């Protein structure tokens, strides 16, 4: 049975799907909405519900990109496989690692990515090279590392992937965003399997939110393709800065 305030959750899910498809950061909208509207619910249940709602929109955006963007499958496939394994492993070890210790490291990495992107004005505007076979191990390391982080902690997963695909493999922002959606959908599936096995999903609510997230992702993917890499670079910077501010606030609050 859905709660009385379900329209608010649907609106949050729609906007989260749209934002996530454009440049990442949908979790900054959907997770706080769940936390504020279900203050007594277990955190694991809210995270599991969020993952179910998110994976539909992420997969829909990925499919939209696959049909319209030349995907760098040479690096996407190993990154995706490694991300699935890493995410599931990260979810298993999540309870053993103190998140307060992780926060300063994540904040430092996000600040570094933001500064690099800001100072390098042409970052991600155009592809600088094509991925080659020798990039496969590096792609697997990127996917596995970010997937493991996503399973343990999560915030900024999409931003780290986009930055990695542009910086390490020379992709433009549009193709990096498209590749990220495929990898991110996989990490979400791995997390859902973990949470579902532990009964930590509010399924009626999750599926309803997933429908709204799907619609938002369709709009966001069209916006991303319409306005191109320069627009996505700006959205990426805004998303990273907002995430940094949120993580700093979380750290100061303890």
Q: Convert the pLDDT of each residue in 226-243 to its tens digit.
A: 998 888 888 888 888 888
Mean pLDDT of 160-179: 95
Two tokens, residue 134: 């020798």
For residue 138 the two structure tokens come to 């590096």
Average pLDDT on 53-77 reads 93
- Per-residue tokens: 200: 């930590």
Domain segments of the chain: what residues? 6-253
136 HSE (CA, 13 A, CB side)? 7
Give the span between the Cα atoms of 79 and 81, in whole angstroms: 6
In 3-state terms, what secondary structure has residue 39? coil
Return left, alpha or beta for 111; rule: phi > 0 is left, psi -120 to 50 is alpha, else beta.
alpha
> Residue 252 has what pLDDT?
86
pLDDT in tens, 199-231: 678 888 899 999 999 999 999 999 989 998 888
| Phi/psi at 195 (5° precision) | -65, -40
Q: Which is nearest to 124 in space by CA: 86, 157, 164, 71?
A: 164
Can you read off the two tokens belonging to residue 181? 């959606």
């Amino acid at each position: 049975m859905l709660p009385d305030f379900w329209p608010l959750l649907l609106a949050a899910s729609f906007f989260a799907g749209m934002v996530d498809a454009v440049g990442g950061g949908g979790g900054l909208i959907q997770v706080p909405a769940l936390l504020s509207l279900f203050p007594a619910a277990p955190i694991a249940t809210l995270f599991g519900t969020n993952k179910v709602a998110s994976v539909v929109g992420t997969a829909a955006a990925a499919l939209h990109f696959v049909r319209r963007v030349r995907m760098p499958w040479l690096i996407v496939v190993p990154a995706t496989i490694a991300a699935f394994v890493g995410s599931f492993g990260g979810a298993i070890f999540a309870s053993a690692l103190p998140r307060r210790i992780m926060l300063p490291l994540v904040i430092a990495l996000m600040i570094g990515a933001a500064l690099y992107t800001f100072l390098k004005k042409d970052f991600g505007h155009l592809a600088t090279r094509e991925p080659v076979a020798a990039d496969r191990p590096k792609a697997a390391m990127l996917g596995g590392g970010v997937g493991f982080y996503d399973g343990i902690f999560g915030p900024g997963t999409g931003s780290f992937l986009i930055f990695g695909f542009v910086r390490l493999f020379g992709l433009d922002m549009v193709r990096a965003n498209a590749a990220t959606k495929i990898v991110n959908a996989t990490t979400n599936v791995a997390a859902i399997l973990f949470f579902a096995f532990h009964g930590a999903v509010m399924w009626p609510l999750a599926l309803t939110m997933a429908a709204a997230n799907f619609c938002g992702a369709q709009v966001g993917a069209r916006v991303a393709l319409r306005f191109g890499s320069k627009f996505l670079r700006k959205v990426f910077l805004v998303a990273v800065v907002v995430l940094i501010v949120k993580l700093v606030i979380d750290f100061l609050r303890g």
